[in-house]
Structure 1
Amino acid sequence: MLVARQTSGFASDFHNCYTHGVSFVSLGLNNIPVSLVSEPPSDVDAVLSVLIDSMTNTSLLPPSVTIPPLSHGTAIPLAAVLLEYPVAYVPTSLEHPFLSNITLDVYECVLLNVLEQNSSYTLLKFSCPSELAGQHTNMDPEHIIAFLTEKFTGRMNKLLPGASFQILHNIQTLDRVAL
């Protein structure tokens, strides 16, 4: 959830607020994961800046904010940031707009027993290439699960007392995963 807070220096801190903890995975030819990128694409920062400015420069939050058409290289990582995923893919080409036959760590954040016993609701589900976990500690499943637990458990306990929050992790290799 993108929520703007009016504090001194907020506009200059937007990058840290909304992209903190997000790992940006650069995809190469045929969308094969190449590396982690230390910073989000500059266009993602620019769009976040416009969104934050439009939300902080008005007394009432507008029902919608219009942004210009974006390239896939901007729209895909921006969507990951806005949805609060800890992993954002940054495609360099969308000739093939999917990952194909890549071993993935798949994470699913689930709320249990929200309205009735034995009920479950998926809050978010995302993946990251398994091979990156061995190269970068912040891509290790234990790190990602700890990050998600810290980020969401308090919110869920406050908003939905009595519900349980669970993070499921498994490894999958799929024919196609859409970006």
Structure 2
Amino acid sequence: MHACGQLELIKKHLDELHEGELSEINLKLKDIALKLQYTYNFVEIMTSCFELFMEGTINLSSFMMPITFYQLIESTKRGAFSIEVSSFVIASFLMSSIPSYFSDQLLEKGEDVSTALYTCGWERHYDKRERSTILLLLIRTSRPVALRTMFRTLCLDSLTDMFQRAYAIFNLMNAVLE
């Protein structure tokens, strides 16, 4: 959420970029570039710290959710509701969904910043330094900012894939064990 807030601030600064003199515009661009670099570095540090944890959470949830859900269904068929098993299902759902949701928000904010950079009005100003700085920032924002695991980028699409795998495992367990 911190990175999303920083990207939103950068977007607001881009909206106010061409208010003032040429020297002020260049200072504003330098400030935007520094803030953008800070935000991208922050996301990279977060990704490197939690990369293995997020990969494990996504992959283990795709196996644990169907197993515990099947156990929950079987225990309710016998008339015993297990609060421990149901809380485990909910916890695995939340632990896999929350990072994917926030990473998807981060992807959207990164795209918004890239769009704001391109539509900031650079074509009306003929300063070569300003245009080259905006070009460099556009190149930097062309790579999406998001939380990544070892094998994929976390987003709602990867969460959907995980839920599809879990559902396939659940159906397979249900067909084999009944």
The answer to which structure has the higher helix fraction is: 2
The answer to which structure has the higher strand fraction is: 1
TM range (shorter): under 0.3
The structure that has the greater radius of gyration is 2
TM-score if structure 2 supplies the norm length?
0.25
Q: Which has the higher contact order (CA 8 A, sep 6+)?
A: 2
